[in-house]
Amino acid sequence: MDNSYTETKFDNKWLDKSLEVLENQFWKEINFSSHLIKTCNELRKKQLKEFEVEDLRIMIGQNISLKYLIPLAIIELEQNILAEGDFYEGDLLISVLKSDTNYWKKEIENWKTVCDLFRRNEQYLMTFETTKSIRNEWLESFNKFENIN
């Protein structure tokens, strides 16, 4: 892994804290039948060092706490562009590429990092054995992402 991103863009003090603590926003317990809402609520209480790829995929997919989670996702994607949550190889990449445009307009350095990461791995992504629809989703999502800035 390229440690320059980690050293310059990621505050390791975050890792021992939860999103609730970092943002000083404590969500109330929800008595709602939605699995997704319950999961997001629980993940906000989890220390970042305990986050798995699926946790990142879920939260980024819901555009929750991107300031803290996108840097973690970039580290995962630098190690493996096809980091996989529960769905398919590359599902974290899709969540990152489809996340809130406003975040990326403010965080241009992170946007550049993701663009560079995708371009460096593009040949691998295009030859990786997967379905045509997943490959097309990577390409279409990146084309939209690339045009944000």
Residue 24 confidence class, pLDDT cut points 50, 70, 90: confident
Tell me which residue has tokens 């691998």.
124
Q: How far apart are the first and last CA of the chain?
A: 26
pLDDT of residue 77: 97
**pLDDT, average across residues 134-141:** 96
Residue 57 confidence class, pLDDT cut points 50, 70, 90: very high
- 119-136 pLDDT tens trace: 999 999 999 999 999 999
* 5, pLDDT greater than 50: no
Nearest-CA neighbor of 88 among 123, 127, 131, 51? 131
**pLDDT, average across residues 99-112:** 97
**pLDDT, average across residues 54-64:** 97
Cβ(64)–Cβ(40) below 8 Å? yes
Nearest-CA neighbor of 115 among 107, 64, 132? 107
Tell me which residue has tokens 């989890």.
46
* 2, pLDDT greater than 60: no
Structure tokens at 116: 């560079």
* 44, pLDDT greater than 80: yes
- 72-103 pLDDT tens trace: 999 999 999 999 999 999 999 999 999 999 99
> Taking the model in full, what pTM does it have?
0.89
**Cα 138 → chain centroid:** 14
* 11, pLDDT greater than 70: no
